[in-house]
């Protein structure tokens, strides 16, 4: 299988990263809505995406056509500020008119197993996403797929995984598998922070890590690739 094309986009600072990310997200939203009347977007967790989500609030887009999913969630109480869904709600989702029924939160307060089973049902029958947003951890993790653990790369992998030994607290999480995250037309990584230097270098040099296991279109869809907005001096 041919390797997935990775397009590295160096940015000078978080401001440029957010600006460039907005442009790419809204372009893909417009194309997706034009093509099939919906935009299926997977949101990334962590802290890097927050300024991007905040800037999206004022976007000129057809919010009614947006369908929002999450790449992973931490097993914390529903309103816990450390939940990825709470960050996304506060930064964006509470400020735009996406129909509530089109925002699909991972119910991680149920515990990893039950939440993974429930989210599997949410995703059942759903085709490829239009865009998956992801972050990068300093060890090369993405979503809640961690080095040395099961990533679910195989085509018959479970789409949603229960995680109990996350090295990044909390230990218990729910994550889409590498294979399910790869079932998308586009992937955009948002990467900044000096502590990511080693992971970026290893990835750029072809190293194996969860982030490198995300291969949209299984590497065969023409033009399918991974875009990485990355702090320039990390490359
Ligand atoms: C999480 C995220 C995780 C995150 C990376 C980068 O739940 O923490 O899913 O994969 O994207 O750890 O996090 P920062 O953006 O905070 O550096």
Give 25-37 pLDDT, tens digit per residue.
999 999 999 999 9
Q: How far apart are CA 52 and CA 133, in angstroms?
A: 11
Nearest to 50 by CA among 6, 11, 84: 84
| H or E stretch at 27 | helix 14-36
- Asked whether 44 lines ligand 1 (CB < 6 A), one says yes
Q: How far is CA 176 from the centre of its chain?
A: 9
Q: Give the ligand 1 atom nearest the CA of 192.
A: 17
Which pTM was predicted? 0.97
Q: What is the 84 CA–ligand 1 centroid distance (Å)?
A: 9
pLDDT at 14 over 90: yes
Q: How far apart are CA 181 and CA 214, in angstroms?
A: 7
Q: What is the 37 CA–ligand 1 centroid distance (Å)?
A: 30
- Asked whether 143 lines ligand 1 (CB < 6 A), one says yes
- Asked whether 135 lines ligand 1 (CB < 6 A), one says yes
Q: How far apart are CA 201 and CA 169, in angstroms?
A: 24
pLDDT at 91 over 80: yes
pLDDT in tens, 97-145: 999 999 999 999 999 999 999 999 999 999 999 999 999 999 999 999 9
Q: What is the mean pLDDT of residues 20-46?
A: 97
- Asked whether 48 lines ligand 1 (CB < 6 A), one says yes
Residue nearest to atom 12 of ligand 1 (CA): 137
77 CB burial (10 A radius; 0-12, 13-18, 19+): exposed
Q: Indicate if the alpha-carbon torsion angle 122, 43, 27, 218 is positive or negative.
A: negative
Q: How far is CA 9 from the centre of its chain?
A: 17
- Asked whether 85 lines ligand 1 (CB < 6 A), one says no
pLDDT at 54 over 50: yes
Here the tokens at position 92 are 């964006």
């Amino acid at each position: 299988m041919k390797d997935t094309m990775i397009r590295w986009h160096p940015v000078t600072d978080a401001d440029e990263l957010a600006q460039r990310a907005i442009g790419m997200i809204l372009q893909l939203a417009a194309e997706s809505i034009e093509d099939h009347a919906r935009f299926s977007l997977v949101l990334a967790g962590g802290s890097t995406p927050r300024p991007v989500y905040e800037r999206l609030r004022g976007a000129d887009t057809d919010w009614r056509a947006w369908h929002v999913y999450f790449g992973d969630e931490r097993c914390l109480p529903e309103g816990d500020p450390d939940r990825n869904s709470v960050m996304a709600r506060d930064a964006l989702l509470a400020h735009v008119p996406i129909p509530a029924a089109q925002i699909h939160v991972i119910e991680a307060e149920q515990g990893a197993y039950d939440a993974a089973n429930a989210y599997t049902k949410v995703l059942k029958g759903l085709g490829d996403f239009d865009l998956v947003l992801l972050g990068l951890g300093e060890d090369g993790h993405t979503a809640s797929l961690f080095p040395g653990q099961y990533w679910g790369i195989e085509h018959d992998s479970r789409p949603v995984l229960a995680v109990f030994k996350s090295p990044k607290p909390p230990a218990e999480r729910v994550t889409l598998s590498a294979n399910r995250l790869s079932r998308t037309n586009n992937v955009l990584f948002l990467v900044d922070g000096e502590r990511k230097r080693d992971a970026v270098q290893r990835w750029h040099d072809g190293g194996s890590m969860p982030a490198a296991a995300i291969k949209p279109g299984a590497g065969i869809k023409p033009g399918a690739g991974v875009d990485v907005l990355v702090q320039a001096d990390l490359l």
